[in-house]
Structure 1
Amino acid sequence: MYAQNTYFRDSAPPSQALLDSVNGTSTRKEAANKSASSNQAEDLQATFLRLLIAQLQNQDPTSPMDSSQMTSQLAQINTVSGIAQLNVSLAALAAQLTAGQQTQAALLIGSTVLAPGNSAAVVEGKSAGFGLQLESDATDVQVVVKNSAGQVVDTINLGKQSAGTVPVSWEPKDESGNPLPDGTYTFTATATVGGKEMPLKTFSTSVVQAVVKQPDGTPGLALSNGTIVGLNDLAAIV
């Protein structure tokens, strides 16, 4: 980027670090540090302007600096500055979105939701049920319920179902109609689509107990079954 026909009369040539700054070498290395992106752009712009002034003051009168080259350099430095400002704006927007998600998550405390899982609790002979998700319409949906020992205690035939989230109300009784004892049961579901049988995604019914901060900074929901899920993982609020 530095003009080859430029010479210096009274001052020493710029350092390699200064030239690297103008050429963008050091800027590319520092771009990974998002928290300092705005300051880096301002420093680079100031460095470029100092170098440009030095070029103009010390250029060869018989071979002045090419104006098109100067215009190109100005455009490049403005682009770098604009990208840095955009990164700052996006970071502020992301912070606002996260704050809004935390508020939404807090409103769900105490609510019963369908979250990814394959367990159903039976308490005092009752169950809150569970949920399934179908990617497409199915001609037949079957649910198999097992006890803690892995024994099949109930088979539920849901028949034909449309695509989407399907809440299932389960009465905890075995296939003979006898009440099942309290405890935690697991279930799996399959659907027949186009003559082929395929497994379905299942959801457990839980109560939102608290809102926690996840490792990526987004809010998570602490559920009564001991798991933590994100807002986007919920299938429904029941």
Structure 2
Amino acid sequence: MTSSTTIGSNGTTVSPLMNDTMSNNSSTNSTNSATGSTSSSSSSSASNTTGAGLQSTFLQLLVTQLQNQDPTNPMDSSQMTSQLAEINTVTGISQLNTSLSSLSTQLNAGQTSQAALLIGQKVLAPGNSLSITSGTETSFGVQLGAAASDMQVNVVNSAGQIVNTIDLGAQPAGVVPVSWEPVDSSGNPLPTGTYTITATGTVNGVAGTGTTLTTATVESVVQGTNGAPSLALSTGSTVPLTSVAAVL
């Protein structure tokens, strides 16, 4: 047996069955709402860790602000719009950095393949230690950043004495290869050994120096600190691929 409940003074009645149904629906909706909020919150926190997630959240905040503002006294949304533009800029820069990093990796891989072709080849690379075999012609080079009106190369022995000065005369900017029969200033053959060379002269009207280049054989290719390939030379030194001045 059921009884009715009277609502208001006009005699409207509601049955207990309807009351129970409304209560159950209200309880169910509250539970679903809470569950949905928890799920939405978890999903939102996961997606907000990326630039795209921040942008989406910012748009939601902007739309919510516009929907809930007082039509007679609207809020200034220019600052939010400006911040949204900044987020777009940061996201774009991040994507550009990723693309450039990928491109750099590909370029380094291509350079490594090209450098491998130099294994066993003789090259001119920065250095000042010159190995001389008595009676055998040797080669080296000088690299100039600007044209020189006069350039000389001093050859120094292990005792620190200048045993010869090679006059190269006027030379243009760039790499100047030199083939030289190892003799002293009197024309006598120099003994076999290791010598040091320095390049001095006149550049743009003032005293200047040049970068000395020595001959070495490429033994292997190694990866440099920045990922670019470097060459391990027979002289025991390792130089970046970009520093090789000439292939002999």
TM-score (norm 1): 0.73
Q: Is the 8 A contact 2:125 2:239 kept in 1?
A: yes
Alignment of 1:121-132 (within 5 A): 121-123=131-133, 125-132=135-142
Unmatched tracts of structure 2, length 5 or more: 1-48
Residues 229 and 64 of structure 1: CA distance in aligned 2, closer, same or farther (over 3 Å):
same
Structure showing greater radius of gyration is 2
Aligned residues: 200
Partner deviation per Cα, 1:100-121 (whole Å, 9 max, x = no partner): 2212222221221111111111
User: 2:107: which partner in 1?
Assistant: 97
Once the two structures are superposed, residues 59-105 of structure 1 have per-residue CA deviations (whole angstroms, 9 ceiling, x without a partner) of 33543445655654543332232222222211111112211221222
Alignment partner of 1:169 out of 167, 174, 179: 179
CA distance in 2, matches of 1:73, 1:174: 74
Considering only aligned residues, what root-mean-square deviation do their CA atoms show, in Å?
2.4
Give identity over the alignment, percent.
61
SS of residue paired to 1:87: helix
Question: What's the CA shift for 1:237?
Answer: 1.5
**Counterparts of 1:125 and 1:47 in 2: how far apart (Å)?**
79
Corresponding position of 2:16: none
Query: Are 1:147 and 2:163 matched, yes or no?
Result: no
1:50 aligned partner, one-letter code: Q
Measure how far apart 1:194 and its partner are.
5.5
| More displaced 10-residue stretch of structure 1: 67-76 or 158-167 | 67-76
Q: Is residue 2:67 matched to residue 1:47? A: no
Q: Does 1:109 align with 2:119?
A: yes
Provide the C-alpha distance between the structure 2 equivalents of 1:138 and 1:221, rounded to a whole number of angstroms. Answer: 30
| Ranges in structure 1 where 5+ consecutive residues have no aligned partner | 1-38
The code of the aligned residue for 1:202 comes to: T
Is the alpha carbon distance of 1:226 and 1:51 closer, same or farther for their aligned partners in structure 2, counting shifts above 3 Å?
same
Question: What TM-score results when the alignment is normalised by the length of structure 2?
Answer: 0.70
> How far apart are the structure 2 equivalents of 1:67 and 1:140?
70
Is residue 218–residue 233 contact of structure 2 (8 Å, CA) maintained in 1?
Answer: yes
